[in-house]
Amino acid sequence: MSGAQGGDLNRNPPRPDRLDHAEGASVPLRSHVREAQPRGAVINGNHPIDQAEAAERFIAAPEHERMHDARLWDLRQKRDRQMHGIAEWEDLRRLASEIKEHALTHLDHYLEQFEANARANGIHVHWAQDADEHNAIILSLLRDHSVKRLIKSKSMLTEECGFRDFMAESGIEVVETDLGERIQQLDDEAPSHVVVPAVHKLRSDVAAVFARTLGTDPDDDDVHYLTEQQREKTRPLILDAQAGLTGANFVVAETGTFVVCTNEGNADLSANTPSLQIASIGIEKVIPRLEDLPVFVRLLSRSALGSPITQYTSHFRGPRRGGELHVVLVDNGRSERLGMEQFWTSLKCIRCGACMNTCPVFRRSGGLSYGATYAGPIGLIIDPTFNRHRYSSLPFSSTLNGSCTNVCPVRINIHEQIAGWRKVLAETHELPLMKKVMMREAGHLLSHPALYRAAIATADSALKHLPRFMVYNRLNTWGHGREVPAPPRQTFHEWYAKNRPTGQGEPT
Output the CA–CA distances (angstroms, integers) from residue 171 to 131, 143, 148, 274, 354, in the order listed: 18, 10, 8, 19, 36
Identity of the residue, 66 or 94, whose beta carbon is nearer to ligand SF4 in the bound complex? 94
Identity of the residue, 17 or 492, whose beta carbon is nearer to another protein in the bound complex? 492
Q: Which of 368, 407, 410, 414 binds another protein (CB under 8 A)?
A: 407
Q: How far is the CB of 418 from another protein (least distance, A)?
A: 10
Q: What amino acid is encoded at 469 in this protein?
A: F
Cα of 311 vs its chain's centroid, Å: 21
Q: Which of 106, 388, 400, 413 binds another protein (CB under 8 A)?
A: 400
Q: Does 16 bind another protein (CB under 8 A)?
A: no
DSSP label of 413: -
Query: Is the Cβ–Cβ distance between 29 and 324 less than 8 Å?
Result: no
Q: How far is the CB of 489 from another protein (least distance, A)?
A: 8
Question: How many whole angstroms separate alpha carbon 467 and alpha carbon 481?
Answer: 16
Q: Does 47 bind another protein (CB under 8 A)?
A: no
Please identify, among the stretches 273-281, 305-313, 335-343, 495-503, the one whose residues bind another protein according to the rule CB under 8 A. 495-503
Q: How far is the CB of 42 from ligand SF4 (least distance, A)?
A: 25
Q: How far is the CB of 338 from another protein (least distance, A)?
A: 23
Please identify, among the stretches 2-10, 18-26, 151-159, 274-282, the one whose residues bind another protein according to the rule CB under 8 A. 2-10
Q: Which of 405, 409, 412, 417 binds another protein (CB under 8 A)?
A: 405
350 binds, options ligand SF4, another protein, none, Cβ within 5 to 8 A by partner type: ligand SF4
Q: Annotate 209-224 with DSSP letters as a single string.
A: HHHHHH---TT---HH
Please identify, among the stretches 85-93, 98-106, 222-230, 291-299, the one whose residues bind another protein according to the rule CB under 8 A. 85-93
Q: How far is the CB of 507 from another protein (least distance, A)?
A: 4
Site string for another protein, 430-449 (x = CB under 8 A): -x---xx--xx-xxxxxx-x
Please identify, among the stretches 243-251, 324-332, 374-382, 402-410, the one whose residues bind another protein according to the rule CB under 8 A. 402-410
Query: Is the Cβ–Cβ distance between 226 and 246 less than 8 Å?
Result: no
Q: How far is the CB of 376 from ligand SF4 (least distance, A)?
A: 7
Q: How far is the CB of 350 from ligand SF4 (least distance, A)?
A: 5
Instruction: Kindly list the residues in this chain that would bind ligand SF4 in the complex (CB under 6 A).
Output: 349-355, 378, 407-410, 412, 414
Number of residues forming the site for another protein (CB under 8 A): 98
481 binds, options another protein, ligand SF4, none, Cβ within 5 to 8 A by partner type: another protein
Question: How many whole angstroms separate alpha carbon 329 and alpha carbon 129?
Answer: 9
Q: How far is the CB of 482 from ligand SF4 (least distance, A)?
A: 30
Site for another protein in 130-169 (CB under 8 A): none
Question: How many whole angstroms separate alpha carbon 264 and alpha carbon 312?
Answer: 7
Q: Does 300 bind another protein (CB under 8 A)?
A: no
Total Cβ atoms within 10 A of residue 434: 11
Q: Which of 84, 119, 212, 235 binds another protein (CB under 8 A)?
A: 84
314-353: burial string, b at 16+ Cβ within 10 Å, e else? bebbebeeeebbbbbbbbbbbeebbeeeebbbbbbbbbbb
Q: How far is the CB of 303 from ligand SF4 (least distance, A)?
A: 6
Adjacent-strand bridge partners of 258: 251, 316
Contacts of 220 (CB under 8 A, 6+ apart): 207, 226
Strand 250-252 relative to strand 243-246: parallel, antiparallel, unpaired? unpaired
Of the candidates 33, 29, 26, 131, the residue with the CA atom closest to the CA atom of residue 77: 26
Identity of the residue, 148 or 444, whose beta carbon is nearer to another protein in the bound complex? 444
Please identify, among the stretches 25-33, 47-55, 217-225, 377-385, the one whose residues bind another protein according to the rule CB under 8 A. 47-55
Question: How many whole angstroms separate alpha carbon 23 and alpha carbon 17?
Answer: 17
Q: Does 401 bind another protein (CB under 8 A)?
A: yes
Adjacent-strand bridge partners of 324: 276
Question: How many whole angstroms separate alpha carbon 294 and alpha carbon 261?
Answer: 12
Please identify, among the stretches 101-109, 195-203, 324-332, 421-429, the one whose residues bind another protein according to the rule CB under 8 A. 421-429
Give the SS3 label for residue 111.
helix
Identity of the residue, 234 or 405, whose beta carbon is nearer to ligand SF4 in the bound complex? 405
Instruction: Report the length, in residues, of the chain.
Output: 508
Give the SS3 label for residue 453.
helix
Q: How far is the CB of 378 from ligand SF4 (least distance, A)?
A: 4
Contacts of 35 (CB under 8 A, 6+ apart): 61, 62, 63, 64, 202, 204
Identity of the residue, 344 or 472, whose beta carbon is nearer to another protein in the bound complex? 472
For residues 344, 345, 350 and 352, what is the CA-based torsion angle, rounded to 10 degrees? -110
Q: Which of 158, 365, 373, 417 binds another protein (CB under 8 A)?
A: 365
Q: How far is the CB of 454 from another protein (least distance, A)?
A: 12
Site for another protein in 317-356 (CB under 8 A): none
146 binds, options another protein, ligand SF4, none, Cβ within 5 to 8 A by partner type: none
22 binds, options another protein, ligand SF4, none, Cβ within 5 to 8 A by partner type: none
Q: How far is the CB of 88 from another protein (least distance, A)?
A: 9
* E-state strands within 339-404: none
Please tell me the number of Cα atoms within 13 Å of 475 on its side-chain side: 8
Give the SS3 label for residue 85.
coil
DSSP label of 376: H
